[in-house]
Each structure stands twice: as C-alpha cells, then as structure tokens.
Structure 1
Amino acid sequence: MGKERRLLTLVICLVLGAGLTAAVLGASRATAPHTGSAAGGPAPSDYVDIRDVPRVPAPARAPAAWADSSPGSVVVECGRNEQGHYNEDNLVVSPGLRSGAHHTHAYVGNLSTDAMSTDASLDAAATSCAGGDRSTYYWPVLRRLDRPGTRPHERAAGHGNAGAILPEASVLVEFRGSPVSKVVAMPRFLRGMTGDAVAHTADSDADVRARWGCSSFPDRSTTRYPRCPEGDRVTRTLIFPSCWNGLDTAGAGHRSHLRFPAANGVCPANTFPVPELRVSLAYEVPAGVPVAIDSFPEQRHSPKTDHAMFVNAMTERRMAAVVGCLNEGRACRN
C-alpha cells in the first residue's frame, strides 16, 4: 500500500512538473525577441502595386484672401547618413533609456544623438548638415528581407527586426510655410514626432501619417509597401505637425504641444503656425524584393507604423532666417 502511494505521488509530481515547465517555456517564448524576419510579418496584404494606387488630386490653390500665406521653402542639406549613425534609442520618446526603441533608427543632422543626449550635448556636437544646423532628424530603418543582416547595427535590435538595412539613396530635409498665414519661429530644442509606431494594434488610424510611394509616381501615395517598377526608387514622405501651442517644447504623448493643421491649412485654436518639416527618403530596391521597416514585435512590421522624430537645435538666428524665407515666399537652401 505504501509503495502504491509513493508511486502515485511520483506520478503527480511528474505531471505537475511537466505542466510547470511547459508554462515557463511558453511564457519565455511569448516574451523573447523574435529572431527572424518571418516571425511576425509583414503580411502579403501589406504590399501593393503602385499602379493600383489611386492618384492624389493636386492641392487647391489658396484663395486670394489668404494673402498672408508663407509660400516659401527651405532645404537643409544634411546628407544621407554617410556616417552610419544608427542606434536603438529614441531621445524624443524614451530619453535616458538605452535601446528604448526596440528597433533601429537612422539619423541625419546631429552626430551625437542617442538616448543620453541633452540640450547642452546637442548644442555642442558636430553635425552632418551644411551650414551648421545641429538639429537631429531620425526614423526607423528600412530592411530588405531577402538578405540577412551581418553588421553589428543590423543585428542589435532583435525583436524580429532582421535583414540587411537599406541605405537611403537620398534624404531631403525641407521646411515649408502655411497656405493661410505667416509662420513664427520654432523654439530651440522643440521635440516633434509624426506617425504612429503602434498603428497595427491601435484602436484607430487617427495618428497614421505613413506615405509610401515610387519615384516615377509622385501623384500616388499609400499606407502600404509599394511594389515599384524596375528602376524606380521606393519613397517615404514624413510630414511633421506644424501648429505649436506657444508654451512647451515637449508635451503629453509627445503630441499635445505640436498638432497638425486642418485640411485647409488652418491651425487649431490656441496654436500658432511654425515651419512645417518634411523629410523625404528614397531607396534603391530591386523589383520584387520584399522590404519592411523596423517595428515593435507586436506591430508585425506594418507599413502603417512608419514614423519619425526630430529635435530642433537650430540657433535662433538660423531659425529666424528660415522663417523669413518662408514668409517672404523665397526658395532657399540652408
């Protein structure tokens, strides 16, 4: 009888032990980083032939009554990250937290930017921008999924962010004015972001700003990865909010202090129009090669999650020159 009890106890312990082991392994699999691009997408529905994307109507001309518009433009020449400035940090969203982005960002502008940067360190650093603009401009990298990443910054992110990083073939940093009013200067060290890094799991697309396209179809854009004709470049256009509350350089959710204007260009109440930042990226992608941007693992590399950040570190004098150029309707290179 005693032997039977001992045997029964042993069987129960083995069953409980196996269940506990399975639970621990299951939990570790659920929280461990993905190691391959196949884990977590992107899905076939995330891609679209650019020829199947409808044309975007040309914007209407501003009424003559809006004579106080600021129709100028300023291009800031910052290169295309020839220095290989990459990291997994996000100074705007998670300052002070190393690898807080959980995916890799590419940078132009300030060459020192990482999670530990401060206003003082940005102000003292070197920059890739001609003319001395020490602002930092950054976005998640784009990868080709048919080749493994081999360099350290290609393998550092984990979380399913795998593949060779595609270098930017061109980067255009540009400021534009408002179609309905003059603009005022951005304050120094203003933080800004555009897009929604968690769009795949968000309740709505309210913060989605992804604009993908192909270089020979400038009148078409999509929130999906475009399949471009042979010889075309894949493009990303990242447009930042341009209505400032006049008070803060950062805000709740990294958005409340900077908001987007309405479709007619008018800023929300109690905000002021500042120069609109646009970062336009282009990539050489062989026809048929699948691509994906880095993302959080649960976002499955959705193209809707495209986003970007910046910190304005221009001097007040340089920002005043940008504002003057926009308000006077000139095309300038800074």
Structure 2
Amino acid sequence: MGRNTRKRRSPLAVRAVAASAALAIGGGGLIWANFYASAHETNSSPNTTKAAAAQVATISCPDVGQKLTSVPANAKSNVDTELATLDKQITEAYARLASSRQAQTNDAGFVQNAILSPLKDKRTAVIGRIKIDFTRVGAAAPTTLDGLAACTGTTADQAQTTAGGQNNGQNNGGQNNGGQQNNGGASASAAPSASAPANIGGQAGNGPVAADFVDITKVAANVQGKPQKGANASRGTFTTQCGVNANKNHNTDNVIVAPGVTNGAHHLHDYVGNQKVNAFSSNQTFLQGGTSCQNKSDLSSYYWPVVRLQNGTQDFDQNADGGGKEGNVGKILTPVQAQIKYVGSPASKVVAMPQFLRIITGDAKTTTNGLANANAHWSCTGFENKVQLTTQYPICPQGSNVVRTFAFQSCWDGQNIDSANHRTHVAFADPASGVCGNGFKAIPQLTMRLVYKIAPPVLQNGVVKNAYAVDGFPEQLHKSATDHDDFISVTTGGLANKIANCINTGQQCR
C-alpha cells in the first residue's frame, strides 16, 4: 500500500491557546473548563448547569471496521485505507466540534447541520468505495455496512454513562480476563458537583473528568477466582524481559489496523520487543527489526497507548499529529516495570503460536462502541488481587503504584494469523471452565503488567487536578475503558515451540 499523503486538517488556534494558557498557570485543564463554561454559562444556577450538560461533548459513529468480518485478500489494502479515512474524518469532525462551542450556543442546529450532516455525506462516500472494492475483485458488496454512515452527537453525561464509572452492571463481553471483573458502581463519590462546569474536562478539553477516577480504597473487592485447573491443564509459564521502552520508541501508527497509513492510530504507542515497527512494516521487516528483549529470538512486537500525566506540561509531540494536535497532551510516563508473561490453559495443553499472529485486546473506541469488547484492567499495587477497574482510573494511596494489566485472547482458530476485523480469528476461553469453543485451539495466553509511579490525582469541587490518562482517539475522551494492547508474534530459533513446551510441561521459564 502506498503512503497516505493527504494532509490532515490543522487544529484551530483556540486549542493551542488554551493548552499554552494551562501550561502558563499550571492549571491542569481548568482553562478548558472555563472556556466551555463561558460558552453557555452566565451564572451557576441549576438551569444553566443543565444546559451545559446537554451540550454535545463528542461524536459517536458506528464502527464500520468491526462489521467487516471477511474481506477478499486482493481488496484488503484498499479497504484498510478507506477504514483509516473514516477514522480521519471522525477526528476532523471532532476538532470542528471542539472548536465551535460559541457557534453551537448561538445555533441549536449547528452540530447537525455543520458537522454531522457533512460527516454523514463523507462516510457514505467511503462506504460506497469499500463496496466497490469488493465488487472489483468479484466479491459481493457487504450488506452489513448499510446504515452505518450516520453519526450522532453525544453529551458529556451520555459519554460518561457509555464508558464511564456511572454505568453499573457492565461486562466484558464474556471475555475471560483472569477471573477479573470491573467495578462500575463506585463512581458516586467521584461524580462532578452540580455547580461544576459540565464539559469534557482535561488539559486539552477532551477528558478525563472527575468521574473517571475513584479512590481504590473505597471500592469493594470484585476479583473473582480463576477456573479450576483440570488434569490436562498446562501449568507452566514463560517470561520474556523486553524493558519498559526507556529508549522512547514511539509512533502514532498501527500496522495491524491501518497498514500503510501514517498516524493511523491517532495516538502515541510505546513499543517494546521488535524495534522496527511502523505503518509500513511487513512480516519481512519484522524479522530484520532487532529486539529490546533479552531473548534475542523474541522479535515479537508488544505495543500499547502511552499514559500521560495531565499536569499542565507538554511533551515532545505537543504540536504533532496523534499528540497535541489531537488532544493527547501532558507528560508521557514510562512504566517503572513491564512484565510480559505467557501462561497456560486451565483446561488443556497449548499449541505454539503461529508466526506473525496478530492479536488486539480491548477496544480503543468503547466511548462510542460500548463495552462489549472492553478488556482494560486498572488497579494499584497491593490491591491487584482484590480490585480491578475497567471504567475508571484508580487513585492509589500513598506508597502504592498504578497498575495496568492485560490478558489477551487465548484461543486461536487454527488457520488465520489475522481477520478482517482483527477479532474473529482469536477468542477468549470460557470464563468458568477455561475451555476454547467452536473448534478453537488453546495457545499460550499473553499477559502483561505495566506499573507506573504516579502522584495521586486530586478531586476538588467536581474537578480533577493532576489527572493521568491513556492516549486515544480524540473523540473517545480518554476514558479508561478505551485502554487496549497490541501484539504481533515474531520468533526465531524455534522459540514459539519452546514457549509452548515450557508451558505444557509445567516449567517456569525465561
């Protein structure tokens, strides 16, 4: 696929001014709170607060890529480019939304007429081109894309209910996350007060907000036991030591989802393992990429969105695509620990991972997609066996560090190293039994544990100060549930078989 040379729309000056003002006063996002309030609040009465809450906070669009469960091989390159174009269109529409608050206040129809309707027209054209890509190679045009062009405006309250801590009874789509469940019922203590400006919050004006955080000491224990191991369980582990990205290997590409497209992720990733991964990498370049892992046969790529501290400071990418231009601001934090471990199945032996297997766990778009594919786990050292959060970030007590953990899909269809929507070729085992269903085979389960030393955020009058958050698509509002992790299996010297054999024989290997 050729390089995408189309230039993105530059952000409007108001975002840069607000960010620099926040830097100047160390406001950590308070400037943006005041900016939004000024557009629709003249006093602190309940009526004006209610009006502020009703303002459109973000844009919700159907995820076209998730509907494409099968794409002809000779159409894949064009389809991937078109899917990346859809993400770019949403990013540009969100930038327009965030920079036109006064116009929205003056005209109740502005969002629909000036933002959502043109966006629908653009998406209709892209979806039409995707259908043509199918028919050009002799395949039937997918009917699953019909009706996916229209997007809606979502208020701050609606976005919080969709992917924030105020949504009780959430699930992770039947996924087996090591027996862990998120807690969605603890947000009342962190909810914004009625007098606080109803806005998206955060240093760049697109989150997080106070309700995205919770004092972990006030959350009831929610971690459930793992499935009991059977007689045929694979009880071993294999740990690979690949560092914490201290050499700052970053980019905003995503070679799995948007190959050949610069800034296809619209947010910054940390990379460990393979050192030459970007949008234009191929299976061949992976083999030539070198590795940060101590085991030089492990050329796999392990990458995840960076975590930033939103304390009013900026980092190297404050004026770059995927960085400050798209609302990903603040100081990039490097983990103090990064553990990568492969574990076995409680129900069976495992087969070796195939070369170049791709797995994405979690969903970067839960704020608009909902939580069906969420697989984020946030906790604190000393609490990991008791509390795991998906829809809120933890505020850890003094002496305790923030922990992100991931448990990847551990069942493989036995045939494909990827799928059109990057999900259907792998699956989670049954959470109760650990058994892989539908003819899938158990593979070593990749688990990751990232530890960050972060000063606890402070909640005052419905506003969070010194917040931290993961990078994400700008319209996703930096919700914790959007956390996700990416993996490409690349090994040499028979390492894939060694990992499987180690696990199957009950050894603890490195």
TM-score range, shorter chain: 0.7 to 0.9
CA contact (8 A) 1:213 1:222 kept: yes
Q: CA deviation at 1:34?
A: 6.5
Q: Supply the distance in 2 between the matched residues of 1:87 and 1:149 (Cα, whole angstroms).
A: 17
Matched AA of 1:95: P
Partner of 2:225: 59
What value does the CA root-mean-square deviation take over the aligned residues? 2.0
1:208 to 374, 379, 382: 374
Unaligned runs of at least 5 residues, structure 2? 1-90, 100-201, 458-465
Q: CA deviation at 1:154?
A: 8.2
1:237 to 405, 421, 430: 405
2:333 to 166, 169, 176: 166
Partner of 1:196: 363
Instruction: State the TM-score, normalizing by the size of structure 2.
Output: 0.57
Partner of 1:291: 468
Partner of 1:98: 262
Partner of 1:124: 288
Q: Supply the distance in 2 between the matched residues of 1:81 and 1:153 (Cα, whole angstroms).
A: 20
Q: Supply the distance in 1 between the matched residues of 2:375 and 2:262 (Cα, whole angstroms).
A: 26
Partner of 2:242: 78
Q: CA deviation at 1:123?
A: 0.4
Moved more, 321-330 or 51-60: 51-60
Asked whether 1:187 is paired with 2:364, we answer no
Partner of 1:142: 307
SS of corresponding position for 2:284: helix
Matched AA of 2:361: T
Q: Supply the distance in 1 between the matched residues of 2:266 and 2:295 (Cα, whole angstroms).
A: 33
Larger Rg: 1
Q: Supply the distance in 1 between the matched residues of 2:485 and 2:477 (Cα, whole angstroms).
A: 18
The aligned runs of 1:228-307 (5 Å cut-off) are 228-263=396-431, 264-288=433-457, 289-307=466-484
SS of corresponding position for 1:131: coil
Q: Which one has more relative contact order, counting CA pairs under 8 Å at least 6 apart?
A: 1
- The structure with the largest strand share of the pair is 1
Partner of 2:42: none
SS of corresponding position for 2:287: helix
Unaligned runs of at least 5 residues, structure 1? 1-26
Q: Supply the distance in 2 between the matched residues of 1:317 and 1:199 (Cα, whole angstroms).
A: 37
Per-residue CA shift, 1:96-130, capped at 9, x if unaligned? 11110000000100011111110000101110001
Q: Supply the distance in 2 between the matched residues of 1:153 and 1:28 (Cα, whole angstroms).
A: 17
Q: CA deviation at 1:155?
A: 4.7
CA contact (8 A) 2:263 2:321 kept: no
Q: Supply the distance in 2 between the matched residues of 1:105 and 1:247 (Cα, whole angstroms).
A: 29
Q: Supply the distance in 1 between the matched residues of 2:354 and 2:291 (Cα, whole angstroms).
A: 19
Q: CA deviation at 1:270?
A: 1.4
Deviating above 6 A after TM superposition, structure 1's stretches of 4 or more consecutive aligned residues are 33-36
CA contact (8 A) 2:236 2:508 kept: yes
Q: CA deviation at 1:32?
A: 4.8
Q: Supply the distance in 1 between the matched residues of 2:363 and 2:231 (Cα, whole angstroms).
A: 34
Instruction: State the TM-score, normalizing by the size of structure 1.
Output: 0.86
Q: Supply the distance in 2 between the matched residues of 1:325 and 1:208 (Cα, whole angstroms).
A: 30
Q: CA deviation at 1:42?
A: 1.1
Change (3 A) 1:287 1:325: same
Partner of 1:39: 205
The aligned runs of 1:307-322 (5 Å cut-off) are 307-315=484-492, 317-322=494-499
Matched AA of 1:256: T
Change (3 A) 1:146 1:271: same
- The structure with the largest helix share of the pair is 2
Per-residue CA shift, 1:179-218, capped at 9, x if unaligned? 000000110000001001000111x311010100001212
Matched AA of 2:473: F
Q: Supply the distance in 1 between the matched residues of 2:319 and 2:450 (Cα, whole angstroms).
A: 19
Q: Supply the distance in 2 between the matched residues of 1:86 and 1:154 (Cα, whole angstroms).
A: 15
Q: Supply the distance in 2 between the matched residues of 1:29 and 1:310 (Cα, whole angstroms).
A: 30
Matched AA of 2:327: G
Q: CA deviation at 1:44?
A: 1.3
Q: Supply the distance in 2 between the matched residues of 1:215 and 1:154 (Cα, whole angstroms).
A: 34
Partner of 1:22: none
